[in-house]
Structures are given as C-alpha cells and as structure tokens.
Structure 1
C-alpha cells in the first residue's frame, strides 16, 4: 500500500521533500498559500484538497498557529520537519546537530572543514547550505552528517536523536514565531530530547540558560572561557584545554586561532569537542583552527579605505548577535541596523553599545522601534533611511579615519531581502563600488 504525504510550503524544504519520494510508492500532496507556487509542479504531485495522509512535512518558517497547520493538527495528522524526516530516512549513524541563537553557522561550517581536513566523508546542510533531505539520502552508515538546526525545525521533531548535539547559547529570539521565550527554549531542548546512552551533548555554560541545563545534565560536555570541572573544553590564561577522558590536556594557545573574539573561542571549543569525539586527531583540528578565517556575513572584514574599515555582519539577525559584533569592533562604530520585526527588545544592545556606537543608521521595518529605544537611552546621533542602500551610502560619506562601518542589523532580512546573504552581498557591493569610485577620482587609498 502506498504511503501518503503532504508537503506544506514549496520553498527550499518543500521542493527537496518532493524530490526524495518515489512517486511509484508515495502519493504526494502539496499546499502553499501562494498559488503561483503550484505552477510547474511535477505531474505526479497533487494539490491537497482534504485527502487522508500519513503525515505532513512543514516548511520551517510556517508557524504552528497558521490556520492550515492548525487544521491539519486538528485532524490528528502528524506534523514533522525536514530534519525529523531526514533522521527517519537516513542510514547515517553519525549525525551532529548544532543549534542556538548565535554561532551555529560558524560551528557547522568549521566542523565541515575539520572533517574534510581529516579525510572523513561528511555532508553539511540543514539551516545552512543546501537542504538536508538529499544529503540524508546520500550519506552512508559511517559517513558524517553535520546539520545546522533552527528552532523552527526542532519544534516539530519527535524521534530526532543526533549522535552529538551542540547548543551554542539560547537568548531571546523569534518571539514572533514561538510566542514566548519559554516556547523558544523548549524547541531548542528538543535537539537532545531523544538522545540515547552513548550520545553526547555539548553546552556552552557561559550562557546562563545553558549553565542551568548543564547542572541538570551532569553527563554533558561543557565549554567555557573559564576553567571547568566537568568533562569538556575551556580557556585558562590564554590557553585552550580539553578533557574527555578525566585529565585536562593542553590543545593550543588562543593567539594561534585564525579568528578573534570571545564568541569565536567558544565556538571553536565546541567544534574541538565534537571533532575529538568523532575520532579526529588533535593536530589535524589545530591545523584547521589556525587556517580558519570565519564565515561570510559574520563580522566579515569587507575592506579599508582612508582609515575607515567596513564589516559585514548581516548574519547578526538578533540583538544578542549584534551586541557581540559591536563588542568586537576596535574603533568608534557607525552601526547600520534594522529589518524585519521579530518582536525583539533592543535595550540591552543599545545600552551596552553606548561607548562604542557613534551613530545609528536605521532602515527597514524596525527603524522606528530601534530609534525610540535609542532615544530613551540618550542617543542623539540617529538617522532613519528607507533602505539599506541609502543607509550605507550615507555612512560611507560621513565615516572618518579610525572609524568602522558595521552592518549588523539585529533583525531578520525578510522585509526587504530574500535572506541575510542577499542583504550582506548588497552591502559589500555598495562599499566596494563606493571606494572604487573614490579611488578612480584620484583620492588616496
């Protein structure tokens, strides 16, 4: 008897889901709010009209309180995410799942580099790169699947149990989707909810919420910028150590790392633990760390002209992430912020950045909200713009020697862009073109 599946949402996740099923064995139905997405459907795919199905695969960005999703749930039909489906269909036994408010893309990308350097067959996907479903089909039993997991994906998992689960931090984010911080936290905890004996959980215990989880789960490996007693990895006086067998072992000096910032040290410590647990030799990991130069769109150095530096942190899609980026700046900073409103609060970000942020260049849906918060805190140098382009060009004109222009929006990109990558690329192109024209007009570099 054929199985029957419903795919809700025809973006990247929905399209990859359509492609993994054998149409001779599966009846495939689809639903999308935008009827234009029904154009050019394969002939073996049907538009859903109330048929009985075994389960529904929901695209991550569609909330559980969406009317159609609620209708399906009320029918008693199981609703799952792509990572849940990937877990069910793959023969791979070495799944590493990474989640958290910030840092997960860096960790996912660096882990992939570590495994490639070590000569291991690994695949990277999920919330970064390509969808995870075709990779899950491709991966063999002894290969490695490195999956970046969003809270949207995790909230509809039921059996997902990675061999190694990594949580970077959990701070307020996506409240527009989850409804409350507590719901957001519960979705993140699902990354380890079904783990079995012998599986590993890695927690950054410098994060208050994860420190509490670490106390509850004494078997977890922990990372910190301070010495810790549990098994894990930590920094002490500029040196990095790991302990996975009961004895602290020196790994490398912090100064040898190819990226800067406390947040990156924590990221690398989590990668170190995961790689060691997967049998990678310490010397191979050390070599990758020394050569690593960070991830595109995450405090990415764009260039310098006449003593002005520009940084692309388009991946800074929440206030906590932007706070990290501002802290990493060594000069007075012209901050470009704004975008899609996720219901975030900007007080802590703006309070912590008072001595670093020289001017705010605000754009997008949240510009007025951020401006009001900044004014409450005593900021005087604030300007709003209709677009990122206008904000960027004005910052480039006004920037002076020994100042940094930082795009770190503290918001999602969906009000004006398809994704944060598109936003970051536009910023980089604007900066490079502006400086190129300045140089062609005879200005000194």
Structure 2
C-alpha cells in the first residue's frame, strides 16, 4: 500500500454534507422544546424560575461554551471537535428525554446546548478552511439549512409528538436521530482528514547551516499570532455588537411577535402563521445574501437595506399591527437575514483560519451575552405599560444601534489590520551612487 496517497477526491463532498447535516442540528434542541414546554412543565413540575431558565439557557450556553471552541479546535482540529459536538447534541437530546427530574433535564439540556455552541463557532471556520473561494455560497447553503431546520422542527414538533401518543419524551427524543446521523458522517470526515494530513506530512527538512539560521521567521510568526487578537480589534467589537443585537431581535421575534399580533385582534392561528412567514421569508434570502456579501469589500450597504426593512416593519407594528400584518411580517423576515450576513462577515473578516476561529468565538460569545437582556426588557415593558408601544419603541432603538454597528463592521478591514506592504529589496552597495 502506498504511503504518500493523494488527498481523497470524495472528502470535499463529504465535508460539505457534514457541514449541512451539522447545521441542520444546531436548532432542533431549542425549537422542539417550545411547543411542548407546557407538557414538560406539568410532568416534571417545573417552577416558573426553572421555566425561565430554560428559555434563557440557549444564549447563556452559546456564550459560555462557544468561548471554549478555539482552544479545542487548535489542539485537536475543528473536524474532530465538530464530531464531538454532534455526539453531545445526540446524547444530550436522548438523555434529556429520559430525565427523571428537573436537575437531569437541565443538565442534559446543557450538554446538547454545549454541542450546539461549539458547532455555531466552528461552522464559519470550516467554511473558511475548506472552501476559501466559495465562502458566500457555502455559508448561504448552511445558514439556509439551519433556518430550514429551525422552521420545520418548530412546525412539526406537535404533530410528531402526537404521532408518539402525546408523550413529550418521545416527541423531544426523536430529534436525537438527525444528530446521530450527522455524527456518523463526521466520523467519515475525521478519518478522511486524518489520512490526508498524514499522507501530506512532508519529510523533516535538514537544518540550515549555522550562518544561514535567522530569528526572523520566528519573530514574524510571533508577530502574526499576536496580530490576531479580536479583543484589540475594532472590527471584532463592531461585529460582536451587530451579531448580539440581531440575535436579540430574533429571540424577541420568536418569543413575542405572535403575541403582539394576537393582542391586537388577530387569532392565535393567524398570529402563528405570521410568525411562520417571518421565519420562511429568511430561508431563500439566507442563501442569496451571503453570496452578495462575500463579493463586496464593504457589507455596510447590505446592513442598511436589511435594517431599513426592519424599521418599516416596526413602524407598521406601531401604527397598524393588524391591518398590514402580512406586509410587516415579510419586512421583518427580510430584516432577520442579518444572521446569515453576520456569519458571512465572520468568515471574511480575517485572512487566516486561525483568525476566523478566534473571531467566531469572540463574536458569538460576546454577542450572545449581549442578546440576553432584550427579550426580558420587551416583556417587562409590556407588563409595566399594559401595551406594546414601549416594547416596540425599545425594539426600534435596538435596531438603530444594530444598523450602526453592522455598518461599521462591514466597512472595517480584517481583524489583523491592513495587509503589510512588500518591503523593497536593499540595493547592493556596489550599485549605490551609479
């Protein structure tokens, strides 16, 4: 058997399949719980505080566990870590469904969410590393798959649960199956990547002669590593704020938009349909927008267009939430495509895979922390005022900040700073003065 094998031709196709399957599993743990939450609360006798923790847990886990992804990916490789993430999601969902009490239910929910958090961070990294010339296209594919998985699971969670006799344990546990399928594909990916790395490993080069040795390469490497520091990059902070506020807007939409419509005279069925429209509009656009963004040096204009649609939707909710409800839902759905835009910007705002790992972890960890208060504030304002005007006003103010942050992130350069200019070669001394 030959030792130096060429890279397997099937590996990119399997990698793309693995990325799409992983994306499909990054939301069912969350979107399947909401429709069955009342049954879970009744069976496990969850208190109001614990139920509130369940709704806030995704953002908290995304922030905490997502920050661990860079070190794990650098140490073991992102493919191996995504393999572990799929295992965590599958086992977490299975064991959560079998949880005998509240403590186990919360623990295994956190296990599944930890896998999702790591997957969130490493998807842009894998796209940058394996498809650097197709970042927009592949990002569009996996964000579309993610959105589709979210919408479909939310829509069929109750019918699937009823098909299992109304037992919420089967209704929640069945969503472990796609994660375990994805796990099997990532086993193949990990084996293929390991073989490729082993076959491509070059022989150890001979040491240079003493007079040829220089400290400059080490110094250059150190400077390059030090330059990739998201904490010191304005681009990273603008992008983190943009990501966090768009996530906050998404959680507000999923948690409160249907109630805003129903409280203004629409039936619950109609309100649910309008929420589905918001989620559905973003599915085709989640493929188009990353392609547009990846081709432009400045994504700021796209941020402004999407934000303007959101502002029009908020104005409609303020003045006439019922009569123009379909139009407002479509506008808000277009505005929600900032999620795929933000992920694309993560992939193109660094020149290296290591930089994307750090930027993705920084942006999503800080961003999900920023997203936590928004839905709570909307609920508090509604409870205090008894109406939705104050809440919509808060949503509009948050959207204005989001637009500004996204515009600044879009016009900023990579987190490493400007590309260094090539240094001119020194003129030989014998040619000087000629």
TM norm structure 2: 0.28
Structure number with greater CO (CA < 8 Å, separation at least 6) is 2
Q: Which of the two has greater helix per residue?
A: 2
TM norm structure 1: 0.27
